[in-house]
Chains A and B, each alone.
Chain A
Amino acid sequence: MSDSPSTSERIRPRDRDAIIQSLRAGVVPRVGQQHIQVGRVHEVTALVTDIDRIADGGSSIRFAIGEYGAGKSFFLNLVRSIALERKLVTVHADLSPDRRLHATGGQARSLYAELMRNLATRSRPEGGAMPSVVERFVTDSLSVAASRDVAPEVVIRERLAALEELTGGYDFAQVVAAYWKGHDTGNEQLKADAVRWLRGEYSTRTDARAALGVRTIIDDATFYDHLKLFARFVRLAGFEGVLVCLDELVNLYKLANTQARNSNYEQILRILNDSLQGSAAGLGFVLGGTPEMLLDTRRGLYSYSALQSRLAENTFAGAGIVDYSGPVLRLANLSPEDLYVLLGKLRHVFAGGDPAGYLVPDDALHAFMAHCSARVGDAYFRTPRTTIKEFVNLLAALDQNPEVAWSDLIQRVELVPEQNPDLAPLDDDNGAASEPTTETTVPSATAPPPDDDDELSNLRL
């Protein structure tokens, strides 16, 4: 990447606002990632290779492993945007206790539904693209039927026959056929029901049967089978394949129930096996997790011995030798130089790409980094999320309070550890603590509570 923190590239206001808002909320922007991307060239290259393989009808799986706040989510989003550019369909979701790869209480179906809600295509990168995918399949079939001068139904049947050989394929084909029927007869309800089914939103068979005449639904047990079906379907619809991005794999690690955890690892093993063997056509996975989640032999992926042997990193890697071809992709920490470039890019984005609008000089970037380094130590390199957030907050404050000198504000930057908002004490006076900070406050989003319990903040057992 560029050595200079500034570029001359202009940024659309819409992208600028989206990026700034996302970063201030501590989440990864869905668009414009390229404007703030720094480092990790090799990692990105590796994933581009994967995407090419998927587009060729192959399969892939990658575990993006990095510390908390190291930029996993950002990386996943970047990969996703690349995949969209390559005419892949992407689905993504964060795993959570309620959204797992394997479950019996509806959590796997819930994950599927979440993935499908986030279904994105190049034309609809924000998600919710399921109807357009199905619609595209139908219109594509119609044009084929027109060119061959046969009934569209015949074409659709022919094409769906390819699905029926897979597990659950028959009902899947039935549902797509139902969509066609709705399309044909102008029955919008039927179309909506079909999309609903495909999105995994039916929770009971009776409902599905009443609406669509199929006996099965997408449920916990058929989660992965339906992903494979869907991958084949999108290829029929004219896309290159499906990239599945699963973030927060650490939530499986945190599952309290041993059995539930192992079942999920077993599901990962199944996906891994399929991907490595290339038997899931046009389907790729990127999973984001922490090193602990991978390496902990007691409750991490390594606790499942079949996974451990498959995911073991190249013994030659490390100490300068790198291997970007294995399933595990270590996201290297950002170097101070990377971070400096990143801050520069943030300044650039904030200014809408106009160097004349920079709110702070380069000195401020150095000063900010020096301040953070002094306050937090080198931990802030490993977890750039809070650093970025505070820097953007700083810029926002300067933007609205031009009379304030940046050097004064930098001294007041506080980097507080992130906290689970559900566990924060209720503020009985008003809801201020949970609201985003108003623009007039100094750039510390959550003032540290008057603290007698530093002991707990830094407690190591």
Chain B
Amino acid sequence: MKTDDLVALLSTNLEPVDRNAVVRTLCVAIAAVAIAAIGIAFAGLGFRPDLTTTRALIFLAVKVAFAIGVTGLSLAYLTRLARPSGERKILPLLVAAPFLVIVVLAAISLGSAPRAHWERMIMGDEWLECLLSIPIIAIVPFAVSIWAVRKGAPTNLSRAGAFAGLIAGGVSAMAYALHCTDDSLPFIAVWYGGTIVLCTLAGAALGPRLLRW
């Protein structure tokens, strides 16, 4: 086939293009997935029974703020990474900011507590449940984020995959926070932060395979 013929074919009866398609697809996908993740957490684990007490609400707020910080930053990056050459314009390390904040808060909290309490503060009651739940709840959000990124045209597939994993981990951590009764900053830093990093690494590994176009 002649290239001129292909160009003519593609230009015949051209349709205008939606100018916000990339951003809209991603935002709608993440909003839908956040609701779905909360539903999965509620159906699978149930919300914590003491949800209305002040102490529970304060820690819920910390966990959710951390998760939303991670999700929001990675969503902003993903709208760039879903475009060709979009990776040129971002500083991926900025996304480490929420992690840094929570680690610093955890260190302060450990520093002001007696050493004998450290193990209990870090391991909590349900570290294993947290370690398993966040990645499992993240599966559906990850699949939907990958679908949304595929609607665009990523050219750095491992990085786009990593951010899809990060956003899935963030959304999942937010949903899991409604169930989790381990209220200590070191627990959040280690088990929330750690599992979100795991989701990110999984996304980076799967990106090149899942995002090819």
Do A and B come from the same complex? Answer: no
